[in-house]
Amino acid sequence: QVELVESGGGLVQAGGSLRLSCLASGSIFRFNAMGWYRQVPGKQRDLVATITSGGRTNYAVSVKGRFTISRDNAKNTVYLQMNSLRPEDTAVYYCNTVLITTATIPTGQWGKGTLVTVSS
């Protein structure tokens, strides 16, 4: 069982940057595809970015060119570098293991997430 702990959120001005981290427990980490999601209260949780065990990445159109997902298997950590932030990026951000087929499906237990607030 993998435990996931997100960190790095905070308050930032529009146009600024934040780097989120997701620390995963367990030696199985390096074999899992990982994803970042975000959720506004009362709204659906949306997929932001994914990275496979081999390092292949995909992004939601809304963040493409601004966000970068990466991983450091030696540290059991996946990152989300967020640049050129907009108020619309405000949300609670979550990471999870994912299964990628015809769609991307979260497979693990949701953590508490980390709150990102972008002010104008």
**What pLDDT, on the 0 to 100 scale, is given for residue 27?**
62
- The DSSP secondary-structure symbol of 87 reads G
What per-residue confidence (pLDDT) applies to 2?
A: 77
Specify which residues 69 forms β-bridges with: 80
Q: What angle do CA 46, 1, 43 make, to 5 degrees?
A: 15
Which regions in the chain score pLDDT beneath 50?
none
What's the confidence (pLDDT) of residue 54?
Answer: 92
Distance in angstroms (rounded) separating the CA atoms of residues 18 and 49: 15
Q: What is the pLDDT of residues 71-106, one digit of tens each?
A: 999 999 999 999 999 999 999 999 999 999 999 999
Q: Quick check: 48 and 81 in contact, CB under 8 A?
A: no
